[in-house]
Amino acid sequence: MTDTPAETVNPSFRGDVTVDLVKHSAADSDVLWAARVSTAGEQSLAELSKDPERSKGLINYLMRDRHGSPFEHNSMTFFISAPIFVFREFMRHRVGWSYNEESGRYRELQPVFYVPGQDRKLVQEGRPGKYVFVDGSPAQHKVVSDAMEDSYRRSYETYQEMLAAGIAREVARAVLPVGLFSSMYATCNARSLMHFLGLRTQHELATVPSFPQREIEMVGERMEEHWAGLMPLTHAAFNKNGRVAP
């Protein structure tokens, strides 16, 4: 029998996502020593102490000609807080990624829900494969906010009622919507992150267009900010070569 909730908590609503870089082993020099072992063998270890700025041409060459494996010898772990529907899209990215997500079986889920902000485009125009999203009117934003908040409140009240009746968390959670916020650790290397960004962000420098859902793009943008600070030469080469993963 599960513990009875101590008190009813009022839901909260938010329109943002958060991404924290919790640990990393990632630098431009990682690309260089991994690449130069092909020609220098054990002498490639000398790259660990060299200024990678001297070899940014090599990084650009590797990116341009899609020699991808040298970009895998690094690691970044992010702590991400976002709606569940974002994670369901996120976990389609399997190669080079590791995930551990908050569990609704083992803890009582908190009533934090996603409601789009005023800058979120609401209206889809066109046909599948050739549609665009445009801004919604104030009235449409009100419809979305009111409907979502009402639905979220009712579903969380039902969840709490079942927990109070002794229903297992893993059963009671079935009434909660995909707009509920969850959290997870996601670990990747630069190559897998570049593949993610190529598909999940829109960018003026991208040679292959992508049409991601805005919410997962928000996560991608924040991850990219962290990565660009860690590996600026690699990030610059990614942009210079059309934002296509090598």
- Active site residue ranges: 200
Read off the tokens for 148: 């979502």
C-alpha span between 235 and 78 (Å, rounded): 17
Nearest alpha carbon to residue 85 among 235, 190, 213, 234: 213
What's CA 239's distance to the chain center, in Å? 19
- Give the integer Cα–Cα distance in Å for 137 and 45: 59
- 132-134 and 181-188 beta bridge pairing: unpaired
* Residue for token pair 């329109």: 15
User: What is the C-alpha separation between 17 and 185, in angstroms, rounded?
Assistant: 14
- Burial-class residue 175 by CB neighbours within 10 Å (0-12, 13-18, 19+): middle
Instruction: For residue 191, give both structure tokens.
Output: 């190559």
